[in-house]
Amino acid sequence: MPTALSPTPKSQRGRPRDPVRVRRIMEAAQKHFNEHGLERASVDAIAADAGVSKMTLYNNFGSKEGLFHAVVRDRTAMVVADVPGAGALDPTEPEKALLVIGARFLALTRGDDALGALRSVYGVAGAQPEVCREFYKVGPERATSELAAYLRSAHLAGMLKVRNPLQAADLFLSMFLGSGHFRGLLMLEKPDSRENKALLREAVRVFMAAYGA
């Protein structure tokens, strides 16, 4: 059954969907939504860029809002594939593990896919709560939960003193969402690798000073 965040299945309208055509529509829509936002993006322009008729677009996605939902879900899926997991990291070496997790999260939050998805979601905050809720659940919430699980295991191993793993995870990841992150969101010059490495080392140092056993 389709959801509000997925394209309308073509099979319901008599013919199977063409995945190549759908991908062209999604890519054109992503470009227009990034440049103009949901309200000002033109369905006619999206269809023209994708090389399809407006009817084809509506047959596949139902509405401009349905297309936007599909684009956000698609970009979120790309981001989620890179959400840093912590299950395989050694709970007896939290400093090394945090360097790995922090590096992954920093690369993720500086990446064009994550920044583009965030811009799209911010643009409809309040107007499209289901899109925002879905993005938060599979993105930020999942990343925080993954780290909290690792911190809990390091606490049980006697290597960290973490009374509230979820709060500690939130604090650690928040250290990577400062001015450099906002520069990326605003499409200004992003921090270079030297700045990122310095931030990573300092974030781990501060965290270990606060929570080290």
pLDDT computed for residue 84 by the predictor: 56
Going by pLDDT thresholds of 50, 70 and 90, the confidence category of residue 16 is low
Residue 75 pLDDT class (50, 70, 90 cuts):
confident
Which alpha helices (DSSP H) does the chain contain, by range?
19-40, 43-50, 54-61, 64-80, 94-110, 112-123, 129-138, 140-156, 165-174, 179-185, 193-211
pLDDT at 117: 79
Average pLDDT over residues 84-101: 86
Banded model confidence at residue 68, pLDDT cuts 50, 70, 90: confident
Q: Is the pTM of this model over 0.85?
A: no
Q: What is the mean pLDDT of residues 53-66?
A: 92
CB 131 within 8 A of CB 72: yes
DSSP conformational letter for 12: G
Contact between 157 and 94 (Cβ < 8 Å): no
Question: What φ, ψ does residue 107 adopt, rounded to 5°?
Answer: -60, -40
What pLDDT was estimated at residue 35? 79
Confidence of residue 5 (pLDDT cuts 50, 70, 90): very low
- 8 A C-beta contact, residue 70 and residue 7: yes
Average pLDDT over residues 101-119: 87
**49 Cβ neighbours under 8 A, 6+ residues apart:** 28, 31, 32
Please give the pLDDT value at position 58. Answer: 93
H helices present in 81-164, as ranges: 94-110, 112-123, 129-138, 140-156
Contact 109, 181 (CB under 8 A): yes
Q: Are 147 and 169 in contact (CB under 8 A)?
A: yes
Q: For the chain, which domains are there?
A: 10-77 (1.10.357.10), 85-211 (1.10.357.10)
Inform me whether the pLDDT recorded for 6 exceeds 90. Answer: no
Residue 3 CA, distance from chain mean position: 20
- Which pLDDT belongs to residue 74? 80
What pLDDT score was predicted for residue 81? 64
Average pLDDT of every residue of the chain: 85
Mean pLDDT, range 169-196, rounded to an integer:
94
